[in-house]
Amino acid sequence: MAGKLAKLTALSQQRPQMSKEKVVENNVMVLNTLLNTSGESEYEYINLDMLNYHPANALYTQYDTQSAIEALAGDLQRNGQIHNIVVSKRDNGEYYILSGERRTRAFHYLFDKTKEARWMQLYAQVRTGLEEIDEELVLDAANLQARGSAGGELRVRKAMVRFVENIKKKFHVSDEAATEILKQVTSLSDATITRNITIENDLCPELTYLYDTAAFPKPVALAYAGLPIEDQHRVYDAIMQTNEEMEEINKKLVNAIKAQGELEKRIANHEEGLRTAEAQQGSIETEIAELQKALDAANTPQEKAEAAKMISKCEAKRKMRQKEIAAYSIAIRQAKTQLDAENLTNALANGLSADKPATSEMYKKASQRLSRAEKAIDALTTDDMQGFLNKMTKKDREKLLERIAVLMTRLDALQGRGE
Mean pLDDT of 218-222: 84
Question: Cα angle vertex 318, ends 314, 322, to 5°?
Answer: 175
E strand or H helix at 126:
strand 121-128
Comma-separated ranges of CATH 1.10.287 domains in the chain: 245-342
Q: What is the pLDDT of residue 383?
A: 45
DSSP state of 358: P
Three-state secondary-structure class, residue 386: helix
| Enclosing H/E stretch for 245 | helix 244-297
pLDDT, position 242: 47
Give the HSE-up count for residue 101: Cα atoms under 13 Å, Cβ half-sphere.
23
Instruction: Kindly give the pairing relationship between strand 51-53 and strand 85-89.
Output: unpaired
Q: What is the dihedral of CA 247, 348, 109, 103, to 10 degrees?
A: -40
What pLDDT is recorded for position 389?
45
Angle at Cα 363 formed by Cα 360 and Cα 367, nearest 5°?
A: 145
Specify whether domain 245-342 bears CATH 3.10.450: no
Q: Cα dist. 134→35, 148, 155 in Å?
A: 9, 25, 19
Residue 155: pLDDT over 60? yes
Residue 358 has pLDDT above 70, yes or no: no
| 278 Cβ neighbours under 8 A, 6+ residues apart | 325
Instruction: Report whether pLDDT(393) > 50.
Output: yes
Mean pLDDT of 66-71: 92
Query: Which has more confidence, 72 or 19?
Result: 72
User: According to the model, what pLDDT value does residue 356 have?
Assistant: 40
Which of residues 179 and 41 earns the better pLDDT score? 179
Contact (CB, 8 A) for 379 and 345: no
Radius of gyration for the alpha carbons in the chain, expressed in angstroms and rounded? 28
pLDDT over 90 percentage in the chain: 22
Checking if the pLDDT of 71 tops 90, the result is: yes
| 104-113, 261-270, 357-366, 392-401: least confident range | 357-366
What is the identity of the amino acid at 351? G
**Range from 27-41, 207-221, 297-311 carrying the lowest mean pLDDT:** 27-41
With a cut of 60, say whether residue 408 has pLDDT above it.
no
Q: What share of the chain is helix, strand, coil (3-state, %, to 5)?
A: 75, 5, 20
Comparing 235 with 149, which gets the higher pLDDT?
235
Residue 4 has pLDDT above 60, yes or no: no
* Largest distance between two CA atoms of the chain: 99
